[in-house]
Chains A and B, each alone.
Chain A
Amino acid sequence: MTLSTPILWVILPLFISLITGIFYRRRILGMILTCTTGFGLGALAAFFPEDLVISIGPLTLNFVENLSILGRQININYQILPFVAFIYFSTGLWAVGSIRPSVPESFRPTSLVITALLTAALGVEPFLYAALFIEGAILFSVPMLSPLLSKTHPGILRFICLQTLALPFILLAGWLLSGVETLPPDSPLIVQTMIILGLGIGLWLAVFPFHSWVPMVSEKAHPLPVSFVLFIFPTVITLFSLNFLDRYTFLRTSQGLYQSLRSIGTLMIVLGGLWTAYQDDIKRAFGFSALSETGFLLLAIGLADQGGLSLLLMLFPAHAVSFWLWGFTLSLIETRADSRSIEVLHGFAQRYPIISSGLLVAQLSIAGLPLFATFPVKIALFSEAFAVRSGLGVWIFVGSLGLFFFSVRLLINLVTPNTEQAITSWVLTEKANVYLPILLTILAVIIMGLFPNAILTNITTILTAFGQLQ
């Protein structure tokens, strides 16, 4: 029996999300289906045999790597499977968090649709058609970011506008790229193509000045879907962007491009960090921190010649656990605290020590504190940036300092006793279904930070999918 890998990692999850969508009110069923699909397809991708043959008793399943649709193909080849495994595992992880009643009901089915569409985007040929799959994923993320009975906030409209505006730029850049390959390097058309491509990817990644929707959506929407969106889109889009470097020599060899990426990345780190530093709303602070992390992704690509691409891939799992922890703990805080203002959280750590620890670890991990998940990657990026140009290093340090400053403010406010409260001593009020996921994720954050070579380097095998970038 012959099957194709896109059926397994694109069509099947779409079908399951349809079932989950039909029974969207049944939270447990939805969670089980989404978790099983996420973790199941993730595990299958992680342990898929290289010869693409699976034998179960007398049944032998032969897989082919492509699926033809209307004369075009979707290829999910063996080299990209570690990344597919990673995004499906992440989807499963977020589905676990969706057990909380406050999470929008549409989150479970749409998260699976988004992952399936983004997987298709990674494999579609010609690869520029990926822009349309990504746009589809963006449209599907609307119901979970702005549920039916909530007010339509301006942030979600801005999100739709800016993300949709990226589509024409990418398609136009694709058309231009096919023509400029044969042109001399000093042709003005090459610079124009790079600008159009940069605008498209910049709009997608919410690069300054297209970032305004991030804090707005982060402030108004539920933290778990927000953390999912802010994790999965930049991750997949960054990997998708590597296709451009892999396929077009003039882009790969352009030192100006790498220099621009380093500068834009640093600008994002600085702005994200400084904006985070003085935020009072913890949800908005998360949005700005996410912008800072996008800066690190761009910086890593900009440092490609210094081994930045491996560091970029190593950042993905560190982001996944940190963002999940942020989203999960914030959703718990939102239902327990009187306000989202950092000033009103006095005494919260005394009443909810595990949730508070989770939030702090997530924030400190994103800030790059030693021993936590992002530290090994960020210190390597920092060193490389400093070696390339000391000015870059200084600015990255300033940006990171902003994230640390907010973490310290958060810590002080969480542990400062609230004199108006009856409870003044430390008590453990969280139940097992709350503290177990948090403690396990904190453990994962620490293990990633302590053993980066054992945990994070596995994902760098994805680079084999990009023949010219290894």
Chain B
Amino acid sequence: MASLSTLAFLMIVITAMVILIFRDWRINTAALTLQYLAVFYLVTLSWPIGLAIVKLIVGWMATAAIGLTCLRQMDDSPPTESTSSLFFRALAGLMIILVMFVISSTLQDTVFPNVDLVIIRSGLMLVGMALMQLGTNASPYLIIMSLLSFMAGFELIHAALERSTLLTGLMASVNLGLALVGVYFIMKSNDRDELQKEEEGK
């Protein structure tokens, strides 16, 4: 059990780093899918599988909605980026990991004494990386992905604190709502570009 928890934690750290560093929607969608799997496993430590699986299904639905929209709407060619920007984001990610490692134990002692440390660490990693991502880019699909990651991190910790069917349902609605907003943004930027091209053609 402990090794599986550690594995889930490592998967969360790696996927969060991948989403932070790379800008290719294919890589990010795959990372988000794996991230939800890891979150699901950690939620099962606090909730029965029947309820925890809601998080996995909703997370995958949200990822699928964004991924499929990107597949239809975005360019096939992966975005080109300088090594220095990748390096900068990786460095920022490592800094977040360090900070979260330091504060997680303190948080467990003072605020969440009954919550497993691996859950707190995983949740904080997701929250921290998502906040860094939100602060460093303005691309709609990355912002929505970061918000989904942020919510996943929060839900992971909150699941260890409270269990409610209505809350789970409402959280699922919020996650799907965020994904739909993301789809809306991706579609609308593309529709507008097409409209502009048509007008220029005339």
Contact = CB atoms under 8 A, between A and B. Distances in A.
Contacts, number: 89
Most buried by B among A154, A168, A192: A168
Interface in B61-94: none
B166 A167 contact: no
Interface in B159-180: 161-162, 164-167, 169-171, 173-174, 177-178, 180
Interface stretch (A10-18, A66-74, A83-91): A66-74
A139 B183 CA distance: 12
A256 to B, nearest CB: 20
A439 B147 CA distance: 44
Interface string A142-176: 11001011111010010011001101100110011
B191 interface: yes
Given A71-B166, A161-B147, A139 B177 contact: yes
Contacts of B177: 135-136, 139
A143 B184 contact: yes
Interface stretch (B1-9, B21-29, B36-44, B150-158): B150-158
Given A129-B166, A161-B134, A167 B192 contact: no
A157 B154 CA distance: 20
B167 A129 contact: yes
B195 interface: yes
A172 to B, nearest CB: 7
B116 to A, nearest CB: 16
Given A71-B166, A157-B143, A161-B134, A136 B188 contact: no
A180 to B, nearest CB: 11
Interface of A: 69-72, 129, 132-133, 135-136, 139, 142-143, 146, 148-152, 154, 157, 160-161, 164-165, 167-168, 171-172, 175-176, 188-189, 192
Top 7 A-B pairs, shortest CB-CB distance: A132-B170, A168-B154, A70-B166, A139-B177, A72-B166, A70-B165, A175-B161
22 contacts: A70-B166, A72-B164, A129-B170, A132-B174, A135-B177, A139-B180, A142-B181, A148-B184, A148-B187, A150-B192, A151-B189, A151-B192, A152-B140, A152-B185, A152-B188, A152-B189, A154-B138, A160-B147, A167-B151, A167-B154, A175-B162, A176-B111
